[in-house]
Amino acid sequence: MIIKNRKDLATTGLRTNALDIIETGIEHVLPSNLMRRALHYDITSGVLNIYHTTYNLSRGRIFVIGGGKASAMMAKELEGIIPATHITAGIVNCKGNDYKTEKIKLITAGHPIPDHRGIGGVKEMLSFKEKYAIGRDDTIICLISGGGSALMPYPAAGISLKDKQKITSILLASGASIGEVNTIRKHLSSTKGGQLGSHFAPSSVIALIISDVVGNDLSVIASGPTYPDKTTFSDALDVLNKYELLSKTPKSVFTHLEKGCNGIVAETAKYLDNCYNHIIGDNKVALEAMLIKAREIGFTPLLITTEQKGDTTNAAFEMASEVLQKKYIGYDALILGGETTPRLPNSIGKGGRNQHYAAESMVAMNRYPGQWVVASINSDGSDFLPDVAGAIVDKYSHAKARISKSDFEAYIARYDSNTLLSKIGDSLVKTGNTNTNVGDLILYLLK
């Protein structure tokens, strides 16, 4: 059972249906399922098939590197597909480590704020090239998933971990999109923006990727360590200017970006001929599984988008407005996925974007004439807070809060959705670390 507190949440038939549908979506994007569907390795010939692409790995040795929220389970599954005896060495950085691997070393590192453990893991990955004299005939398999930007830190020369942590915190609270955040991350790193892939040239680097990025932009997922980067140092400074962050930016970060603009520091990798990137799972896989499950249990479902984005509050109200205006007449299960971006006030409470989306939906859906349920869940099991995946609310949630309208609005205004939903009860969804990450899953059930 993926949802650990399911018994507390399933207080109505409609809520039970919603939990069933959400669980099905997460189950279909677990690395154990994605890896088995995508990969086949012939032990005798040494040929690896990834869907319709074939790689002959028999000419040299196999090494494994990578990082992300799904990387631990990906590593475990990879050793079940390619025997550990066929892997020379491996190391991946992960958020949580619930698995035992034989040859691939798992390092637990910091997320969403990078830490020294992550840096140590990346340093060890990079050392493989010299330590094992990795050459043209060898193959590097890189396991990448959402969260890799924080879990695989390796600051550029002159930037301390402390300054990297500070700019990361500033960016995550700024309202900048993940693409904009990663534009800066790539230009403060020695491995992001294709630089990890170029480090191992001329060896072939095969990246297996589980995407958490709207639109599956390979240059954005985990800041594109094995994919050419089209952004520049100038673009990174533009992001800081756009969100008025220059005064908050550590001096070493600004100096480094300025040096890059002046050509003193080398740009990120703009061309890679040794890297082969394969997306083996994404938001669409989860949403389509939810669509099928909803249909199986008697709903008439509609997959609205796999690219939900923009401000969290606006997204919740726009969707509710469309429901109230009967845009989706004839459908009683509405399915969305993606990742919204909250722009946080200076003084904030506890919460995450999915909890905030659910809290805003309580207000926005209040005028719906029938029964309704809205669930908004982060597929990785952590909606900013490590012990909460998101929230589920319904027609009765608002009344159960038992607080004044002004207090209710105050909780939402200061992004204190976790406290509000805790007061309501039967709202916070807890899954623990799911060991996958394809962004957010949002579901509306209407009667």
Rg, Å, the chain Cα set: 22
CB contact burial 5-26 (16+ within 10 A = b; e otherwise): ebeebbeeebbebbbbbbbbbb
Query: What band does 397 get if pLDDT is binned at 50, 70 and 90?
Result: very high
Give the Cα separation of 23 and 10 in Å (integer): 13
Report which residue type is found at 171: L
Mean pLDDT (the chain, rounded): 95
d(CA 72, CA 78): 10
Which domains, and CATH codes, for the chain? 6-28+283-446 (3.40.1480.10), 31-281 (3.40.50.10180)
Mean pLDDT of the region 146-153: 94
Q: Residue 102, exposed/middle/buried by CB under 10 A (0-12, 13-18, 19+)?
A: exposed
Count Cβ atoms within 10 A of the Cβ of residue 171 and give its class: 0-12 exposed, 13-18 middle, 19 or more buried. buried
Q: Tell me the three state secondary structure of residue 324.
A: helix
pLDDT of residue 370: 93
Give the span between the Cα atoms of 400 and 12, in whole angstroms.
15
Nearest residue to 40 (alpha-carbon basis) of 81, 85, 84, 87: 81
Side by side, the strands of the sheet bearing 139-145 are: 104-108, 89-94, 62-68, 139-145, 204-210, 275-281
**pLDDT, tens digit, for every residue of 398-444?**
888 777 788 888 999 999 999 999 999 999 999 999 999 999 999 99
| Token pair 């098939």 in the structure block, residue | 49
Would the CA dihedral through 155, 158, 162, 165 be positive or negative? Answer: negative
3-state secondary structure of 203: coil
Give yes or no for residue 105 having a pLDDT over 80: yes
Tokens of residue 354, six digits: 């999915």
Q: How far is CA 303 from CA 21, 286, 308, 357, 378, in A?
A: 13, 11, 11, 18, 17
pLDDT at 385: 92
Q: What's the whole-model pTM score?
A: 0.92
Question: In 378-444, which ranges are continuous DSSP H helix?
Answer: 397-400, 405-413, 417-424
* pLDDT, tens digit (0-9, with 9 covering 90-100), for 238-283: 999 999 999 999 999 999 999 999 999 999 999 999 999 999 999 9
Using the predicted structure, report yes or no on whether residue 117 has a pLDDT greater than 90.
yes
pLDDT at 403: 78
Q: Rounded to an integer, what is the distance from CA 297 to the centroid of its chain?
A: 29
Average pLDDT over residues 128-140: 98
Highest averaged pLDDT of the listed ranges 84-98, 164-178, 320-334: 320-334
Answer whether residue 98 shows pLDDT above 80: no
Q: Which strand (E) or helix (H) includes residue 392? A: strand 390-394
Among 141, 231, 216, smallest CA distance to 186 is for 231
pLDDT of residue 402: 75
Phi, psi dihedral angles at 350 (to 5 degrees): -100, 140
Distance of CA 126 to the CA centre of its chain: 24
Element (H, E) at 104: strand 104-108
pLDDT (0 to 100) of residue 157: 94
More confident residue, 214 or 332: 332
Mean predicted confidence (pLDDT) in 55-70:
97
